[in-house]
Amino acid sequence: MNIMGHLQQLGRSLMLPMIVLPGAAIFLSLSGLPWAEMGMPGIPGHLQTAGEALFAFLPYIFAFGVAMGMTSNAGAAGLAALAGMFIYTGIINSSHYELEPTVFTGVVIGLVTSLFHEQFKTIKFPEYIQFFGGPRFVPLVVSAFSVIWGIVMVKQAPNLHNALIELGDVVSSGGGFGVFLFGFVLRILVVFGLHHLVSHVFWFQVGGYETDGAMVFGDLPRFFAGDPTAGAFMAGLYPTMMFALPAIAFAIIHEAREDLKPKIRKTFLTAALASFLTGVTEPVEFAFLFVAPYLFVVHALLSGFMMWLTYELGIRHGFSFSAGAIDFSINEHLATKGWLLIPIGIVFGLLYYVLFRWAIRRFRIPTPGREEGSHLDEWAGDIPYRAPLILQAIGGKENIHKMEACITRLRLKVVSDKRIDIKALKHLGAAGVIRLGGGNVQIVFGTYSELIREEMHKVIQRDISRVSFCSPMQGRMIALSEVPDPIFAGKLVGEGVAFIPDKGELVSPVNGIVIHIYPSMHALGIRTPEGLEVLLHIGIDTSQMKGKGFTAFVKEGDAVIPGQLLIKFDIPLIRQSSKSLATPMVITNADLVQSWSYAPFKSVKRGQTSVMSVVLKERSVGGDSE
């Protein structure tokens, strides 16, 4: 794995432990309610303890989360990291220094554990001590490292303790410009999925604050510990996520074509609401990132400027997960001048809306809804059916070396990124595809990413026979029921889909053998190796044209592969001489099929993968391949 691959996996791993922090914020917020007046005077203390406990054990959570994230959820690695943290804590507590484990320590032990796991998980010893071999050796070697690490830290404790505090002073000396630079870099790194690397340093390591005799480090823990100077590296993100990104979503909606506006409105209102409430921004940001990267740079600069402005105004606010309205409300009681974020956000929201509407129109930026192929789609209930198609567009399970997911994107290590069909993935709802080199790929599906990974994992694990279909032509895919012919629409010939062609070329959707070509060349049949018989019928009532306007490039008995040219046809002549251009692609022996999956019914390219997928019944596996 190359450096970028390591970094993207580390970025995801650092995000995992943060999923527990919203619970801590909620407990601390609820502890401020008037429980005594409700007859429950002991509740505030319990809630306060619950919230503080999560922060107190944050180093252990990070050690466990990083170890699990870097080893694809290997239980032995997570256990070894916890064991290492217990040993390390025991050693430093026995010293005469007032030391506490930090998040930095947890990350180090988690990383070292993952390295040891990959190195020693298959280690073999002589049979009489093989009990300690394999994954069971990992906790032993991690424990040994933790002992050494603990001793080193005790020796260097005063220096390191002071260094962290001095680092915070150095960062603070940068003033507003330092905060601006952080905000700008944070947004730029979102493109590569590496923003957690820089945010982790500022949120969990920079700056120290003493509370109840213990030191806490990092902007986020210090904010929740009551440090009035904390929150500088978080407050300015609220205007971006609560107002600026939703404003971009509204600009995209209002600049969409009238015929596509209802669908775009539904999609981007959802994306805007997600950004406003939870601070999940990628579905909106990736809608314009690839079509107007210069606009994304402007967005990053404005985001950094908002952070600078909030810093100079003395606004301090924080969050447990991200800068959305939920965190804003829960943590407002700890903020300094937090209410000012609302008017600032409204002003910048209006600025973003006007700027993006002008830029989209002035530079003719093809944002979703400006062209037929919208990058985002609303299809949460359709995930189990699209997962096989997404898997095919990635190149099949044979192309996947490692598959993980974070909140908004699939993070893949593939055998060859050249086998990935980016157009098909966007057709299936991906907001963007990022190649990081070395086979490392990120596919942005928004907050459905984890559900997609789960469904793809189920598809990979199931021992079933599946046949995937490419698009046989360039045009628009429609449901078979929309074909203006009662025989095809009623599925009397078979089950499948249909296409309205934009270009007069028919290509093979599958591997197989041409078993029949009609004399008029308006239709042909292909038998797949699994025994499926696929009929491709160009137009409706085109048999009456008696071959005029059709040219075949294959003959009966020819073996064909997906994307291979089969027939060329004259679209204007067919439009003039037949009932319709609708071209059904149906499986005539549909009794062999157990289940069907379809991509969205919209524009497709010739040879585009993942437009239809079928699972065969068990009795059809290994069928006639002649």
Contact 315, 336 (CB under 8 A): yes
In the block, which residue shows the tokens 């692609």? 585
Q: Residue for token digits 């939703």?
A: 246
Task: Please give the structure tokens belonging to residue 6.
Answer: 């390591």
Phi, psi angle pair for 217, to nearest 5°: -120, 145
Question: What single-letter amino acid sits at 314?
Answer: G
Structure tokens at 532: 């499926």
Element (H, E) at 507: strand 505-507
Cα–Cα distances (Å) from 271 to 193, 250, 464, 502, 548, in that order, read 19, 10, 35, 32, 50
- For residues 236 and 330, give the distance between their C-alpha atoms in angstroms, rounded to a whole number: 17
Both tokens of 89, joined, read: 């804590």
Give the residues across from 412 on adjacent strands. 403, 441
- Host H or E run for residue 265: helix 261-278
The C-alpha atoms of residue 103 and residue 110 are separated, in whole angstroms, by: 10
Q: Residue for token digits 């691959």?
A: 5
- Three-state DSSP class for 259? coil
Reported in sequence order, the residue ranges of 86-179 that DSSP labels E, i.e. its strands, are none
CB neighbours (10 Å) of residue 162?
Answer: 11
Written as one string, the DSSP assignment of 52-110 is HHHHHTHHHHHHHHHHHHHTTS-HHHHHHHHHHHHHHHHHHHTSSS-----HHHHHHHH
Residue in 224, 209, 200, 217 with CA at minimum distance from that of residue 12: 200
Question: Which among 612, 315, 295, 256 has a CA at the least distance from the CA of 468?
Answer: 612
Q: Residues 456, 457, 460, 461: is their CA dihedral positive or negative?
A: negative
Catalytic residues: 406
CB 282 within 8 A of CB 431: yes
- Tell me the Ramachandran region of residue 51: left when phi exceeds 0, alpha when psi lies from -120 to 50, beta otherwise: alpha
What φ, ψ does residue 41 adopt, rounded to 5°?
A: -65, -20
Q: Which residues of 490-507 are buried (b: 16+ CB within 10 A; e: fewer)?
A: eeebbbbbbbbbbebbbb
Q: CA separation (Å) from 22 to 110, 248, 332, 515? A: 22, 27, 14, 61
